[in-house]
Amino acid sequence: MSKIAIMGAMPEEIEPIINKLDNVDMTLYGANKYYEGSYHGQEVVVAYSKIGKVFATLTATVLIEKFGCDRLLFSGVAGAINDELNIGDLIIAKSLCQHDLDITAFGHPFGYVPEGDVSIDTDQTLRNIAQDVAKQKGLTLKEGIIATGDQFVANEERKNWIGTTFGADALEMEGASVAVVCNALNVPFFILRAISDSADMDASFNFDEFLESSAKISADFILSMVDELGR
């Protein structure tokens, strides 16, 4: 049987998932906690990485290499860049980029490193399953480019620059690093984000207020995808 990795960045993003698992067994490894269990018979391993690209890279790698997960689903929250995204809306990443990666001094575009790519696509099959789940739930699921960086953006100018430079619809702090790991290790992956703020001057206030409710929306959707993958 396949084993599905479910990741978040913060406790609030995975607690709604862990609470619904059966036969949970916690392993402490690499200064982090990994929760193995099952959901309606499907084996899953759940972890929150802590915030930022480095911790997300470590956690994604451990989920794949130590726990043997063959697909990875990320559940969490993000700030909106696209004006059509409102708090609580769901967006899935078609591709992800690193907005804070900058070696333009050497003539390269923003987000690019030699032997790498500016953006990495997520798995088409998992995106299709997500759209099927959205139809079953009567939800609108937007699809677009998500930008990742090691900074909480609460600045209209920075937000607009990221949107213009990368064509990004939303931004967060982990997704693109998960993409790099999964792409390198040939593991299908999927990034789902519920909008918690608009990455502007009110972002920190809105983030605190809507983190829990937005995280629950994302978590519920991810568990429905686990059901579909287990069929």
Residue 154 phi/psi, 5° resolution?
-135, 50
Bridge partner list, 95: 121, 145
Which candidate, 116, 103, 188, 101, places its Cα nearest to that of 148?
A: 101
Strand (E) positions, 175-225?
189-197
Q: Which residues contact 71 (CB under 8 A, 6 or more apart)?
A: 2, 4, 5, 123, 126, 187, 188, 189, 190, 229
Q: Is 150 in the active site?
A: no
Q: Which amino acid is residue 22, in one-letter code?
A: D
Task: Choose the catalytic residue: 169, 172, 174, 197.
Answer: 197
Q: Is 89 in the active site?
A: no
**Length of the chain in terms of residues written:** 231
Strand (E) positions, the chain?
3-8, 22-29, 32-39, 42-48, 71-80, 90-98, 119-121, 141-148, 170-172, 189-197
Which candidate, 190, 143, 157, 152, places its Cα nearest to that of 171?
A: 152
Task: Choose the catalytic residue: 12, 13, 169, 174.
Answer: 13
Residues catalogued as catalytic: 13, 197
